[in-house]
Structure 1
Amino acid sequence: MNWQPFRGNAPANMTIYSAAFPDVSDQWPMKDDTAREINALNQALKAEPALLPPLLESEEGGQTVLIPQHRYSEQAYRNRPALAAWRTRLVPSALALFAVQNPLEERLPEGTKMDSESRRWFIHANDAIGIRSRAKVLAAMVEKYIHNDIENGWISLASGAAIPVLEALRSAKLDGQQVFLSLVDNDPVALRWAETMAAQEGLTVGEQLTLLRRNLVHTLVRSEDLLLELGEHQAELVDALGIFEYFNDVDAVIFLRRALRLVKPGGAVIVSNMLTTSPQIDFALRCIGWSHIFPRTLQQLQEIHIAAGVPVENVTVVVPKDGVYAVMEVRV
């Protein structure tokens, strides 16, 4: 992959690139109309910073309902039943990303039929494009770590259904190398989905695939239990594509420091974090109401890896053209 020069604001000593990727949204009808619609909601929310994200409340019988807190959320969820079901029943589980990664599917993972208005947003929302583009950055980065030896270890932390991992393996065009995957997640439903999809790629539990249901806060941040269980310096590659932004700065430093101890010399940890400059961040966080995260600047990301003991020369950052995420490759 030939990375391109990065044109935004970044620390002077950061090795950083931009990248552009083809996406399902490129040739899909109504892309510009959808972008204008979402951008208008985003700008309206920027002008009213006190507006809060929608609430989830339990009704009698255990059913969860979505309660918009302002007119923009009401507008967003009106006539979009799949979007409402997605927000109510799937967010913040790992399966929430399935509809974003696979927006042409006929149904959500929990069974709700996809409607055309919801599908447009799952295809064209800038944050949806960003989810897909960070997966493509991961695929490009991992190439050099799983082609070297006959056997390679890859640990995916907070793997969810492991869709980016399996896509990266599929595109890697391995030449006889075997990759042994360890998928770690706290969601048993997501792990079952991962097992099913890995089986379609010829990976079976007990052979090339290990599934671990573990809470990373308890086993890697608050303790070293997972580190002891997996063993230090066991993997060529560790990815944490979807979890890093859920940690505060102190926990992010601990997490990165311990994740690096899982990696062999010459390997890497790859993480991503939503940027504070993400173009539709107000729409995502306060209109749709994605769960609480810590968006960061590039400077903040550098401060975290330096605090974790990683010098600047060991880190490469890639920001796709959509501007949603920074993907950070931290080499050991």
Structure 2
Amino acid sequence: MKLSNEPLAYLQQIIKNGGPEAPQYETLNRVFETISAEFKAGNISAEELDALQHGFGGHTMDSTILGHVRAKPFGYAGDFLIIDKIYREHVSADARFEKWDSFWHGQPACKAVRNRKDYFIRTITQALRKQPCLQLLNVASGPARDLAEVYADIEPQRLRTVCVEADQHAINYARELNEAHAAQVEFVHQNIFRYHTTMQHDIVWSAGLFDYFDDDIFIKLLRRFMAWTKPGGEVIIGNFSDQNPTQNFMELMGEWYLHHRSTAALTDMALQAGAERSAIHVGSEAEGVNLFLHVRV
């Protein structure tokens, strides 16, 4: 391992102290950036990195945010439960790891996920100010806490939602959260590539799916979403920005990999999918870490 002793010693001291205090976050992030750069340069082996990762507490960290991300209990990164833990700013009941959960929740990527929920709520409520009723298709709906919060703030009969989700565990969880508005929400257990519908929607929304796809799949799926959208309606796709400051930490410590994209890249893919340039807009949440491709049909 060619990494200098200084950043490693700093990290080891943080681990020994049970995690970082808030004033140490910036320095610790720089340490993770250094480790990531050294790993990508081949100066740290996979075995050495694995030993470093296990230095946090190994399987005993499973109750923490980072432990959940690394364990992938549902078989994939970014599962519904980790997203809801981020929404709720869940902190482990194990006092040994409280500081690490607080550190994770303070990262720009986690703030962006929470902001993503707010962006969804704002988008739906603003749309309902312009028209009496909405038909929403929510793809890869996950925990659907954002949906439950929307329904709590509106006249429920004004919003009809179809949620397409590949994970039955996520559907069970989301159905319970949305039990009060079950008459307005339909859950479809289906891989989106096998899903077919003749219904058209006012809004087709998918916030946490497309950044797992390469460009070709992104474009192909966007075309399908556009076909499922009413004339005058809108497709809205969330994607992590290529300016995500948490990217290296997510990849290094959580093996959580995404296709990060720029505003220009998202615009170009919308054009390739057949959208008119005048119908394309890219927004972002407050951190600027989650981008949202809007395509008016």
Q: Structure 1 residue 285 and structure 2 residue 251: aligned? A: yes
Tell whether the 8 Å contact from 1:41 to 1:72 is kept in structure 2 after alignment.
no
Equivalent in 313, 316, 322 of residue 281 of structure 2: 316
Q: Once the two structures are superposed, what CA deviation does each residue of 1:110-133 show, in whole Å capped at 9, x if it has no partner?
A: xx9994133213421221111111
Q: Once the two structures are superposed, what CA deviation does each residue of 1:141-193 show, in whole Å capped at 9, x if it has no partner?
A: 223323344432111001111122333444xx435752111111010010011
Partner of 2:81: 95
Partner of 1:327: 292
Partner of 1:209: 185
Q: Which has the higher contact order (CA 8 A, sep 6+)?
A: 1
- Residues 149, 318 of structure 1: CA spacing in aligned structure 2 closer, same or farther, 3 A cutoff? closer
Displacement of 1:47 in angstroms is: 4.3
For structure 2, which runs of at least 5 residues remain unmatched after alignment? Answer: 1-19
Partner of 2:266: 301
Displacement of 1:297 in angstroms is: 2.1
Q: Structure 1 residue 46 and structure 2 residue 28: aligned? A: no
How many corresponding residue pairs? 272
Partner of 2:100: 118
Q: Structure 1 residue 260 and structure 2 residue 221: aligned? A: no
- Residues 211, 68 of structure 1: CA spacing in aligned structure 2 closer, same or farther, 3 A cutoff? farther
Displacement of 1:54 in angstroms is: 11
5 Å-filtered alignment, 1:50-69, equals 50=41, 69=49
Partner of 1:179: 159
Q: Once the two structures are superposed, what CA deviation does each residue of 1:19-73 show, in whole Å capped at 9, x if it has no partner?
A: xxxxxxxxxx944433432342124313442469999xxxxxxxxxxx8834553
CA distance in 1, matches of 2:32, 2:175: 38
For structure 1, which runs of at least 5 residues remain unmatched after alignment? Answer: 1-28, 56-66, 220-225
Tell whether the 8 Å contact from 1:316 to 1:330 is kept in structure 2 after alignment.
yes
Partner of 2:145: 163
Q: Structure 1 residue 227 and structure 2 residue 196: aligned? A: yes
Partner of 1:132: 114
CA distance in 2, matches of 1:275, 1:85: 23
- Residues 256, 116 of structure 1: CA spacing in aligned structure 2 closer, same or farther, 3 A cutoff? same
CA distance in 1, matches of 2:235, 2:289: 20
Partner of 1:84: 67
Over the matched positions of the two proteins, sequence identity in percent amounts to: 18
- Residues 37, 105 of structure 1: CA spacing in aligned structure 2 closer, same or farther, 3 A cutoff? closer
CA distance in 2, matches of 1:298, 1:322: 14
Give the letter for the 2:107 counterpart. A
CA distance in 2, matches of 1:318, 1:32: 31
CA distance in 2, matches of 1:191, 1:113: 31
Q: Which has the higher helix share?
A: 2
Q: Once the two structures are superposed, what CA deviation does each residue of 1:62-104 show, in whole Å capped at 9, x if it has no partner?
A: xxxxx88345534555674423244212542222212111113
- Residues 42, 246 of structure 1: CA spacing in aligned structure 2 closer, same or farther, 3 A cutoff? same
SS in structure 1 opposite 2:154? coil
5 Å-filtered alignment, 1:11-22, equals none
Deviates more, 1:122-131 or 1:71-80: 71-80
Tell whether the 8 Å contact from 1:184 to 1:212 is kept in structure 2 after alignment.
yes
Give the letter for the 1:303 counterpart. D
CA distance in 1, matches of 2:285, 2:43: 28
Q: Once the two structures are superposed, what CA deviation does each residue of 1:200-251 show, in whole Å capped at 9, x if it has no partner?
A: xx211xx21111000113x1xxxxxx333xx242x11111101011111111
- Residues 267, 136 of structure 1: CA spacing in aligned structure 2 closer, same or farther, 3 A cutoff? same
CA distance in 2, matches of 1:185, 1:194: 10
Q: Structure 1 residue 104 and structure 2 residue 60: aligned? A: no
- Residues 214, 130 of structure 1: CA spacing in aligned structure 2 closer, same or farther, 3 A cutoff? same
CA distance in 1, matches of 2:211, 2:224: 16
Q: Once the two structures are superposed, what CA deviation does each residue of 1:266-290 show, in whole Å capped at 9, x if it has no partner?
A: 2211111112221121111222211
Tell whether the 8 Å contact from 2:267 to 2:282 is kept in structure 1 after alignment.
no
